[in-house]
């Protein structure tokens, strides 16, 4: 092992908004093989409030002047992902991009080609692959607890009736609930079932005075399997987070993973009980045993957002695969593009 390989990996974080401050910075600083070298932000006071010892750079160019930065994490608005990631890759840095990778699949393909040409690691922060509820659904599917799955329903219900307060709610490329929450919904579905055969979608703006899509309903076709993905912004009483039905059983799960709330409250991976859910949050499994229908609570698999940066640190040092391959993140964007086309034209679109 060289001296550099034994040292923590210097990380430059680009952006310190909600995602950068509440997700990336806490998870980066919790991984012992990573060192947060600097943050690019136009609000140094906010950064120093949370990270008093971390330097703040005004631009990505200035950040890249520091040779100690080996890994650049892009946590900027979606429309800036492609340009910022391309600049970092051209400068010889490994890159993590917050989801979605880019606004278009063509931009994603460009970054994938560039990373391959430069022999650099490129990954995408689809951290909800490590939600407790998704990991539990994945266990049900992979262990055959439900038999052959015929219906999968996943949803994000929230109530935001006021004026737009974040860039994700503005009329700009990559904004709106489809690219925000929809990215998570599609990525989790593709993790379970692969890319679909068809995509149908209904997208709308329901909030008075709204500028971006705030309602999204997608149906992904996989032969007889139907995957229904839904996100709404005017729902006071949320429905089940997941419903998964197969020819041998069903699994229904309410509530949201608690890791983000825990980090906002100052907790970190490694703390006692990290990622665990109380019994009151367990999902309900209905299946057949000895010819009888049985219903009970299924313990949640603990959530583990820290897995992402643990794997990323290993891959930068040449010791494993990236946590989320960029090609998989590109496929998510293709589904989103097909959803836009389907909603616009009122057609079922063949995935390609």
Q: For residue 96, name the pLDDT band (cuts at 50, 70, 90).
A: very high
How far is Cα 161 from Cα 165, in angstroms, rounded to an integer? 11
Which residues fall within 8 angstroms of residue 63, CB to CB, at 6 or more apart? Answer: 12, 14, 38, 40, 57, 69, 72
| Segment 217-267, tens digit of pLDDT | 999 999 999 999 999 999 999 999 999 999 999 999 999 999 999 999 999
Domain with CATH 3.40.50.720 in the chain: 3-127+307-320
Domain 3-127+307-320, CATH number (from 1.10.760.10, 3.40.50.300, 3.30.465.10, 3.40.50.720): 3.40.50.720
How far is Cα 57 from Cα 171, in angstroms, rounded to an integer? 28
Q: Residue 116 to residues 9, 112, 194, 252: CA-CA distances in angstroms?
A: 21, 6, 23, 41
Task: Reply yes or no on whether the pLDDT at 3 is more than 60.
Answer: no
Q: What is the pLDDT of residue 1?
A: 47
Domain with CATH 3.30.360.10 in the chain: 128-304+335-350
Single pTM value for the model: 0.95
How far is Cα 154 from Cα 242, in angstroms, rounded to an integer? 5
| Segment 129-187, tens digit of pLDDT | 999 999 999 999 999 999 999 999 999 999 888 766 676 777 778 879 999 999 999 99
How far is Cα 47 from Cα 20, in angstroms, rounded to an integer? 10
Per CATH, the number for 128-304+335-350 is 3.30.360.10
| Segment 196-228, tens digit of pLDDT | 999 999 999 998 888 899 999 999 999 999 999
Q: Residue 186 to residues 98, 209, 289: CA-CA distances in angstroms?
A: 15, 27, 32
How far is Cα 327 from Cα 317, in angstroms, rounded to an integer? 21
Q: What percent of the chain has pLDDT over 90?
A: 89
Q: Outline where 143-176 has alpha helix (H).
A: none
Q: What is the pLDDT of residue 323?
A: 98
Q: What is the pLDDT of residue 29?
A: 96
Residues 330, 332, 338, CA angle at the centre, nearest 5°? 105
Task: Reply yes or no on whether the pLDDT at 289 is more than 80.
Answer: no
Residues in the chain: 352
Q: What is the pLDDT of residue 292?
A: 76
Q: What is the pLDDT of residue 211?
A: 83
Q: What is the pLDDT of residue 209?
A: 83
């Amino acid at each position: 092992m060289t001296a550099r390989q034994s040292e923590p990996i210097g990380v430059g974080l680009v952006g310190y908004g909600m995602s950068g401050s509440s997700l990336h910075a806490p998870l980066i600083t919790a991984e012992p093989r990573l060192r947060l070298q600097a943050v690019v932000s136009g609000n140094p006071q906010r950064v120093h409030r949370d990270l008093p010892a971390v330097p703040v750079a005004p631009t990505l160019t200035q950040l890249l002047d520091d040779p100690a930065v080996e890994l650049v994490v892009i946590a900027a608005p979606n429309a800036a992902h492609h340009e910022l990631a391309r600049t970092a890759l051209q400068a010889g840095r490994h890159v993590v991009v917050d989801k979605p990778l880019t606004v278009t699949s063509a931009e994603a393909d460009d970054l994938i080609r560039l990373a391959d040409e430069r022999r650099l690691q490129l990954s995408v922060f689809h951290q909800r692959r490590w939600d407790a509820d998704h990991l539990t659904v994945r266990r049900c599917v992979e262990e055959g607890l439900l038999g052959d799955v015929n219906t999968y329903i996943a949803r994000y219900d929230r109530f935001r009736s006021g004026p737009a307060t974040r860039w994700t709610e503005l009329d700009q490329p990559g904004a709106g609930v489809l690219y925000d929450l929809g990215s998570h919904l599609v990525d989790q579905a593709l993790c379970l079932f692969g890319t679909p055969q068809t995509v149908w979608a209904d997208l709308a703006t329901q909030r008075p005075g709204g500028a971006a899509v705030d309602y999204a309903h997608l149906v992904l076709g996989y032969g007889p399997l139907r995957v229904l993905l839904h996100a709404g912004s005017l729902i006071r009483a949320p429905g089940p987070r997941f419903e998964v039905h197969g020819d041998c059983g069903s699994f229904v799960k309410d509530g949201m993973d608690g890791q983000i709330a825990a980090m906002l409250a100052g907790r970190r991976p490694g703390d006692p009980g990290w990622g665990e859910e109380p019994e009151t949050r367990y999902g309900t499994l209905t299946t057949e045993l000895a010819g009888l229908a049985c219903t009970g609570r299924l313990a949640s698999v603990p959530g583990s957002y820290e897995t992402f940066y643990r794997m990323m640190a290993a891959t930068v040092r040449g010791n494993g695969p990236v946590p989320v391959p960029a090609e998989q993140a590109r496929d998510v964007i293709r589904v989103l593009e097909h959803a836009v086309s389907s909603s616009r034209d009122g057609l079922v679109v063949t995935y390609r």
